[in-house]
Amino acid sequence: MQVGEALKTLFSTGVVKRSEMFITSKLWTSDCAPEDVSKALARTLEDLQLDYIDLYLMHWPFRTKPGSRGWDPEIMVPLCLPDTWNAMEGLFASGQARAIGVSNFSTKKLQDMLGYAKIPPAVNQVECHPMWQQHALHNFCMSTGVHLTAYSPLGSPGSWIKGEVLKEPLLIEIAEKLNKSPAQVSLRWGIQSGHSVLPKSANESRITENLSLFDWCIPHELFLKLSQIHQQRLLRGDTAVHETCSPYKSLEDLWDGEI
């Protein structure tokens, strides 16, 4: 509700126009039953005090019981992705969502969806950074016209997610050569790779630094050198895996081998 009030104030006072903002929200796993999809977006629009959302993403390729919270395996329930996606398509048709997409979808799951979708997902938002470069998924997205967006492009330093992307020695070495910060090199790597990046910060100086990416580039030889970094998925999704309660019996199942 606080975000909605802030947006209302910004728009009503002319600080920014609605058309100048791109607002994304996500369908949570407990709202993935087809009959719940439109109600979930309606709540979001009410909370944000908006008539439409620019992009609405299906958060994960699994479903939990309505109203549930947390990650207890016992709250997992069967999901029919084609039916849920059909409901997402209805939001696009109504104009409530100007674009629809997915998040945390493997190459295979995305490929399967493109086979049954009437409206293909505009975006696949996934973990992507120099320590988890997602080359196969990236190439597939580019070949099919699905835009790849990177969350945690800096590896989420200071959060519960383990892994120190910005302390990677090769990244630090290249940053020093370019007189940039490791964060800037990590973000610039994403942009030069051809996908958008979603860094998150409440620190004004870091926000300014994160925006200073468009008047320089990583030289080709150094860009290629970043491919030498050891690859490690940080947000593994372990809590979505269970031998009896989840449709995914292993991390290999959840990510279709991309782990």
Residues comprising the binding site for substrate? Answer: 59
d(CA 5, CA 217): 39
Task: Give the residue carrying structure tokens 């126009």.
Answer: 17
3-state helix/strand/coil string of 184-246? HHHHHHHHHHCCEEECCCCCHHHHHHHHCCCCCCCCHHHHHHHHHCCCCCCCCCHHHCCCCCC
Two tokens at 233? 């998925």
Residue 127's DSSP bridge partners are: 151
d(CA 158, CA 155): 9
d(CA 83, CA 74): 22
Helix (H) or strand (E) holding 248: none
Residues, the chain, total?
Answer: 259
d(CA 42, CA 45): 5
Are the C-beta atoms of residues 192 and 185 closer than 8 Å to each other?
A: no
User: Which residues are known binding-site members?
Assistant: 59
